[in-house]
Amino acid sequence: MTQVPSVSLDTKDNNTINSTDDILIDSQQGLLSILRKLRSNPDKELRLLLLGLDNAGKTTILKSLASEDITQVTPTQGFNIKSVQSEGFKLNVWDIGGARKIRPYWRNYFENTDVLIYVVDSADIKRLEETGQELSELLLEEKLKGVPLLVYANKQDLGQAVTAAEIAEGLGLHNIKDRDWQIQSCIAIDGKGVKEGLEWACKNIKRK
């Protein structure tokens, strides 16, 4: 059991910032059990868009959510999609490549997104400004207007990694007023923090 902090902002609750430092993680609890617990509409089909710069850990997070082997992960040149169905509840997670030449095509996948998941390599300090610029542009997209934002501060196990709070400040998350957001510390290679982020996402699906 490991403690992983998270920082969140619920814009529907007087813009109050909530910090949680005692989240207990059970890495053995899979995606299916989360969906069974959170599902409010058994016929609901959800679309989660997973974006971020190359090498941020998006595909590893996707495989972790699907309880798949993460020892063989290669850079995504196009997109990956994983669908999980449990008792009529279907969750589609789209993982789009983050290389610079692929990013212009991200907008082809914006339609009908329920939650935007943005992954940041917490140890890649040199590219924090770049990833912040990409996120800012995403938040201006009309098709993503009002869509809840989940930011994974990945690779927290590396010594040079900055904290989720520092990343939130660097990305200017506290200035976001048009949607609910949360930043979640995680270590994708062993699943720590991934479940907590997904749990928040499922609870904050925009109402259609």
Integer Cα distance of 156 and 121 in angstroms: 9
Nearest residue to 10 (alpha-carbon basis) of 200, 207, 195, 141: 200
Alpha-carbon torsion (100, 93, 11, 23), positive or negative: negative
Residue 182: what are its φ and ψ, rounded to 5°?
-150, 145
Alpha-carbon torsion (208, 89, 109, 138), positive or negative: positive
Integer Cα distance of 183 and 164 in angstroms: 7
User: From the annotation, which residues make up the binding site for Mg(2+)?
Assistant: 59, 76
Query: Which residue stretches of 95-152 are H helix?
Result: 128-139
User: From the annotation, which residues make up the binding site for GTP?
Assistant: 52-59, 98, 154-157
User: From the annotation, which residues make up the binding site?
Assistant: 52-59, 76, 98, 154-157
Integer Cα distance of 28 and 70 in angstroms: 15
Spatial contact of 57 and 121, defined as CB atoms under 8 Å apart: yes
Bridge partners of 116?
A: 49, 149
